[in-house]
Structure 1
Amino acid sequence: MKIIIAGAGEVGFHLAKLLSYESQDIILIDTDKESLGYADTHLDIKVLKGDATSVSILKEANVANSDLVIGVTSSETTNITLCLLAKQLGCKRTIARISNTEFIDKKEEIRFADLGIDELISPEELAAEEIQLLLDQSAFNDSYEFENGALIMVGTSLQRTAPFVGKSVKDAASIFPELHFVPIAIQRFGTQYTLIPRGDTIFKEGDQAYFVTSKEGVDELYKLIGKTREEIKDVMILGGSKIGFKATRDLCCNKFKVKLIEINRNKAFDLADELPNALIINGDGRNVELLEEENIEEMDAFIAVTGNSETNIMSCLVAKSKNIKKTIALVENMDYFQLSHSIGIDTLINKKLLAANNIFRHIRKGEVVALTRLNNLNAEILEFIVKPSSAVTGKKIKNIDFPRSAIIGGVIRDNVGIIALGDFEIRAGDRVVVCSLPRSISKVEKLFL
């Protein structure tokens, strides 16, 4: 695919990096010479200095023959204008990063596709949604919903007390005869090695294990991993950033009791006006005395989303020392993901990764409607819509020539999530959730073309 990315900032660079691994034909456009220079020396892509909304620059990038144009500059106006121009000049698909989430809420009404924008994404909105989902599934440190929760992907670190540690996947499944979940990926403790589990794979203490489950299977999983579902109601959020604002707004709408700490006095007053259902505190969240004054030990969850990764991590560690049930930190550095479990923070979230996941499904072949990359794991989870012409149509799962380094996690049929085993027959119109290591993705894609 020929892909043009406008914006060599954090999201644009990370996206270009991921796509360059896929051997895509990438052109990165930006006005900043330094950012482009770094990308040019570190990635196998072409770079072009200039204004992405300049028609001459777009023509120089050969936009008429491009498959996808992605606007991820820091300017919402630039991204929208770029997509409108690119579509007029002949580009097949366009994606614009926005900060005003009202556009997403009203996209059916405004009909952005008619204007030339095929997809709108807001990394801040995605992060706020991720926080909500993580609080709903309190015992898990990673989660993702397919089709409004018809199937749910959850990840958890296996403790020694988990009933199935030391048992094989086959043995673990026999604990619950009515199987409502399937393990899809495991990362061994202390390694960067990701494996797709089979029947004889042994669960070990410290494994970061990922499962796909139906709504009914979530309670089974809690029992199986030896954890209890903690009710989370009282939440403290550090940082009145866009993510902090959106997360507070959404949690208040869902009847959570939220305290939000913001260091900037004027901003704190503005937030108090905009968020009447939350308690806004003007203060420095790095101050342990302030946290204690605000009864941090009585909170069920602590979420740090300031613009500083180190502040977020350190404040979460303070919260963890007060026996808070759930801690979530926003980080910019992808390398921190490898440290999250060893340093004791429940979950790290990253805007770049969330935005890249959302955009990535437009690059995949076949009818990919959802995609997520597992945090710190070398694996992808994709949701395909089965076509009448697909190679898997009308076949039982056990008869499909599926690569060993990929696995079907479940099937959504008529909006109902099904944990599909070997005798399940796939039909046209089914939505199939697949977990795959990178080396098998192209083979998996061919099965769903």
Structure 2
Amino acid sequence: MKVVICGAGQVGFGIAERLASEQNDVSIVDASPRRIQIATDQLDVRGVVGHGSHPDVLARAGIEQADMLIAVTLHDEVNMVACQVGHSLFNVPTKVARIRAQTYLQPEWRSMLSRDHMPIDVVISPEIEVGEMVLRRLSLPGAVDTVSFGDGSVVIAGVLCGEACPVVDTPLNQLTQLFPDLPATIVAINRNGKVMATRSSDQIQTGDIAYFVAPADQVGRTLSIFGHDEIPAKRIIIGGGGNIGLYVAQELEKRNAAARIKVVESNRERAQAIAEGLSRSVVLHGDSLAREILDEAGVADSDTMIALTNDDRVNILSCLLAKQLGAQRILALVNEQGYAGFAHGLGIDAYVNPRQITVSKVLQHVRRGRIRGVHSLLDGAGEMIEAEALETSPLVGRPLRDIDLLKGMRIGAVVRNGVVMRPSGDTVVRAQDRVVLFALADDIKRVEQLFRVSLEFF
């Protein structure tokens, strides 16, 4: 696949890194020579210095032969115009744009982003995606990672298995015997920073992060089996009143009538602006690294402190200070992958990585076959995937145990007509079933092969 990426920041670099590692033909465009130099030095990509919305720059990047244009610069308008240029002048089949300003995404204006006006095939809003991830973490405080598939019917959750975890050192096949009525499947384990697909004979060890797939209404019960009975937070402090912090506060006001929310924002004008947009939340002007501000916010009595500023170091340090002052749980927004690697070691209960979330969203549309959802683990070491099985798929009509292409993967659930089923070796996938599975990075091509659209389909 030939892909042109506009923007060589953290997100653009991350997408280029993933696609180049899978032997795609990638060109990356950025106005900064330094960013292009870093990208071409570290990745097998072609770099072009210039503005991503300029036709001559896109032409130098090879847009005429491109299958996809991904515009993820820091400026919404550049991303939108790049897609317009890619459509009008070069007839690029698929155009993806990152759009952060929520006014463009309001229902009354959304028709602007259509083929007849501003032809963008896929709109990615990082603030909404990250905000929804934070809200899922708040609703499932025992999980360190969560994602929803199957139109919300299936949840994948990662859970830290501590010394008190009741199922440590228990073979996975025995868990099925101990809890026969629990339709949850452990599909992957992160052990010492290395992720692996599970086998029935594997055992969970202390310190592992186990990833399981379960129906949405069974996630709480599954977490309790791992020793996590945490109650969803009601007293919440949000450090940072930017777009993400404001979105989380607004949604909490809508979804959780019992929530008592306090937002700490360092910019006075911004603090005044968001106070006008919130009805029940208390907005404090101050630094979330200042102890007196956290004391004023009532951190000692809080259930959860969420740090959502644009500075990773502020997020990590303010969370650690909040925990020292009495916050029961802490959750930090962490952009830099290097920081994410040791966040748990510092005592951060959970973190959210915007780059990983955005890259996962893009990969959902890059993957060949009927891929409906993608969630990247450990910066691309593995992926949780939701895909639709077609009549021509090698997966359809045969028991799962007889399908050689599944070796090294782990199916967590099959969704049929809205009903979530736990798979076994005898399970036979039917056409139009949604399959939720885990695969390591090296096995992604086989996943695409399993769910490809063959000529026989037409």
The TM-score bracket by the shorter chain reads over 0.9
Q: How does 1:39-50 map to 2 (within 5 A)?
A: 39-50=39-50
AA aligned opposite 1:81: V
Q: How does 1:346-385 map to 2 (within 5 A)?
A: 346-375=349-378, 378-385=381-388
Residue by residue over 1:186-209, the C-alpha shift from the partner in whole angstroms, topping out at 9 and shown as x without a partner, is: 122xx2322211111011111111
Pick from 271, 274, 278 the counterpart of residue 275 of structure 1.
278
Equivalent pair of 2:140/2:232 in contact (CA under 8 Å): no
Cα pair distance change 1:367/1:71, threshold 3 Å: same
In the alignment of these two chains, the number of paired residues is 447
Which range is displaced more, 148-157 or 57-66? 57-66
Match in the other structure for 1:149:
152
Match in the other structure for 2:7:
7
Equivalent pair of 2:371/2:451 in contact (CA under 8 Å): no
Shift of 1:105: 4.6
SS of 1:284 mapped into structure 2: coil
The percent of aligned pairs where both chains have the same amino acid is 28
AA aligned opposite 1:187: N
Shift of 1:225: 0.5
Match in the other structure for 1:442:
445
Equivalent pair of 1:317/1:344 in contact (CA under 8 Å): yes
SS of 1:428 mapped into structure 2: coil
Separation in structure 2 between the aligned mates of residue 113 and residue 180 of structure 1, nearest angstrom:
42
Cα pair distance change 1:111/1:294, threshold 3 Å: closer
Q: How does 1:405-420 map to 2 (within 5 A)?
A: 405-420=408-423
Match in the other structure for 2:403:
400
Separation in structure 2 between the aligned mates of residue 350 and residue 63 of structure 1, nearest angstrom:
30
Separation in structure 1 between the aligned mates of residue 346 and residue 340 of structure 2, nearest angstrom:
10
AA aligned opposite 1:72: V
Pick from 107, 111, 114 the counterpart of residue 112 of structure 1.
114
Separation in structure 1 between the aligned mates of residue 157 and residue 323 of structure 2, nearest angstrom:
21
Which range is displaced more, 100-109 or 90-99? 100-109
Residue by residue over 1:25-69, the C-alpha shift from the partner in whole angstroms, topping out at 9 and shown as x without a partner, is: 111111221211221212110011122222222223332321100
Equivalent pair of 1:161/1:226 in contact (CA under 8 Å): yes
SS of 1:427 mapped into structure 2: coil
AA aligned opposite 1:40: T
Shift of 1:269: 0.9
Separation in structure 2 between the aligned mates of residue 423 and residue 403 of structure 1, nearest angstrom:
14
Match in the other structure for 1:330:
333
Pick from 173, 176, 181 the counterpart of residue 176 of structure 2.
173
Equivalent pair of 1:192/1:377 in contact (CA under 8 Å): no
Separation in structure 2 between the aligned mates of residue 354 and residue 377 of structure 1, nearest angstrom:
11
Match in the other structure for 1:249:
250
Instruction: Give me the TM-score of the superposition, normalised by structure 1.
Output: 0.96
Extract unaligned runs of 5+ from structure 1. Answer: none
Equivalent pair of 1:337/1:375 in contact (CA under 8 Å): no
Match in the other structure for 1:423:
426
Moved segments of 4+, more than 3 Å: 102-105, 107-111
Q: Aligned-residue CA RMSD in angstroms? A: 1.7
SS of 1:112 mapped into structure 2: coil
AA aligned opposite 1:381: M
Pick from 133, 136, 139 the counterpart of residue 136 of structure 1.
139
AA aligned opposite 2:187: I
Equivalent pair of 2:28/2:61 in contact (CA under 8 Å): no
Separation in structure 1 between the aligned mates of residue 278 and residue 217 of structure 2, nearest angstrom:
35
Separation in structure 2 between the aligned mates of residue 394 and residue 232 of structure 1, nearest angstrom:
45
Match in the other structure for 1:30:
30
SS of 2:404 mapped into structure 1: coil
Separation in structure 2 between the aligned mates of residue 268 and residue 384 of structure 1, nearest angstrom:
43
Equivalent pair of 2:150/2:434 in contact (CA under 8 Å): no
Cα pair distance change 1:313/1:178, threshold 3 Å: same
Match in the other structure for 2:267:
264
Residue by residue over 1:2-25, the C-alpha shift from the partner in whole angstroms, topping out at 9 and shown as x without a partner, is: 000011122111211222211111
AA aligned opposite 1:74: L
SS of 1:436 mapped into structure 2: strand
Match in the other structure for 1:298:
301
Separation in structure 1 between the aligned mates of residue 178 and residue 411 of structure 2, nearest angstrom:
21
Cα pair distance change 1:103/1:396, threshold 3 Å: farther
Equivalent pair of 1:304/1:313 in contact (CA under 8 Å): yes
Equivalent pair of 1:83/1:96 in contact (CA under 8 Å): yes
Check if 1:284 corresponds to 2:313.
no
Shift of 1:109: 4.4
SS of 1:345 mapped into structure 2: coil
Separation in structure 1 between the aligned mates of residue 380 and residue 60 of structure 2, nearest angstrom:
37
Shift of 1:102: 4.1
Separation in structure 1 between the aligned mates of residue 360 and residue 53 of structure 2, nearest angstrom:
25
SS of 1:165 mapped into structure 2: coil
Separation in structure 1 between the aligned mates of residue 15 and residue 124 of structure 2, nearest angstrom:
13
Residue by residue over 1:233-284, the C-alpha shift from the partner in whole angstroms, topping out at 9 and shown as x without a partner, is: 1110001111111111111111332100011111111111122331110011
Extract unaligned runs of 5+ from structure 2. Answer: 453-458
Match in the other structure for 2:194:
193
Cα pair distance change 1:301/1:113, threshold 3 Å: farther
Cα pair distance change 1:148/1:384, threshold 3 Å: closer
SS of 2:390 mapped into structure 1: coil
Equivalent pair of 1:63/1:90 in contact (CA under 8 Å): no
SS of 1:170 mapped into structure 2: helix
